[in-house]
Copies of this chain bind each other. A is one copy, B any other.
Amino acid sequence: MPKLTQEAIEGNKEHIEEAAKKLFIKHGFHGTSMRLIAAQADVSLGNLYNYYKTKEDILESIINKYELIINTKLKEIFDDIEEPLLPNNLINFGKKVQILVAEHYEFWLLMYIDVLEFENRHCRKMFENLTEKLNKRFYNHFTELKDNKDINNNVDPAIGFTVVYLQFFNYFLIEKLFGGNNHLGINDDEAIVKISEIFSRAIFHPNALEKFSVNKQ
């Protein structure tokens, strides 16, 4: 048989990893056997080792690729919103986090595997210097708000945005993976609005809030 093209190899790996991912997030790393992966991917047990040296290699490849996807999605979200702190944009941002978590909650399950089995070795860079990174991305937005004295005393917009960013993720992860079941006592859409309102009040000076008020929408 002639050598497979690089694309064919990638395609086959994609197929295997799709199957393995399903099993890993259902049974954990050690709870998933190579035989199960092979069966789920409709591939022979031995052939798996033509593509991966070890079982851990499969998990690593899955996590690395998924991290790329998530980072791309996050970049897309951030590219779409130039001034995320504005109240209406905050709501839109929340909705996008909602969609991201709904479509890719599996990534966070993989992250919990990573936390449990590898001390979050693969995913920890997502949290390092988070505020600094967000500050760089929205530097113009944040400094403009500060220069205009729109921001409350003692509140750093970069920290404020990091906090609301993490809050949205945390909210939807609790709902999706931890059995929250409308844990705030309101539905998701209302929760997005409520959380946005809370942080708008937190970040903006009352006068600025007037300026950005909802009827501007």
* Cα of A185 to Cα of B134 in the assembled complex, Å: 11
Given that A109-B116, A183-B162 are contacting pairs, would A127 and B178 also be in contact in the complex, using a CB cutoff of 8 Å? yes
Shortest Cβ gap from A130 to chain B (Å): 4
B-facing mask of A117-148, CB < 8 A → 1, else 0? 10110011111111110010000000000000
Shortest Cβ gap from A17 to chain B (Å): 18
Q: Which residues of B contact A203 (CB under 8 A)?
A: 198, 201
Q: Which residues of B contact A25 (CB under 8 A)?
A: 116
| A128 partner, pick from B113, B123, B162, B180, beta carbons under 8 A | B180
Q: Are B113 and A194 in contact (CB under 8 A)?
A: no
Nearest first, the 7 closest Cβ-Cβ pairs linking A and B are A124-B179, A30-B30, A202-B202, A30-B31, A112-B112, A131-B185, A198-B202
Instruction: Determine the residue in chain B with the shortest Cβ distance to A202.
Output: B202
Interface of A, secondary structure class, is helix
Q: Are B181 and A128 in contact (CB under 8 A)?
A: yes
Q: Which residues of B contact A116 (CB under 8 A)?
A: 25, 27-28, 109, 112-113, 116
Q: Size range of the interface on A?
A: 35 or more
Is A184 in contact with chain B by the CB < 8 A criterion?
A: yes
Q: Are B29 and A178 in contact (CB under 8 A)?
A: no
Is A170 in contact with chain B by the CB < 8 A criterion?
A: yes
Given that A115-B178, A198-B163 are contacting pairs, would A128 and B185 also be in contact in the complex, using a CB cutoff of 8 Å? no
Shortest Cβ gap from A186 to chain B (Å): 7
Can you give 8 contacting A-B residue pairs, CB < 8 Å? A112-B116, A129-B185, A131-B185, A154-B194, A163-B184, A163-B195, A166-B167, A167-B170
Shortest Cβ gap from A167 to chain B (Å): 6
Is A177 in contact with chain B by the CB < 8 A criterion?
A: yes
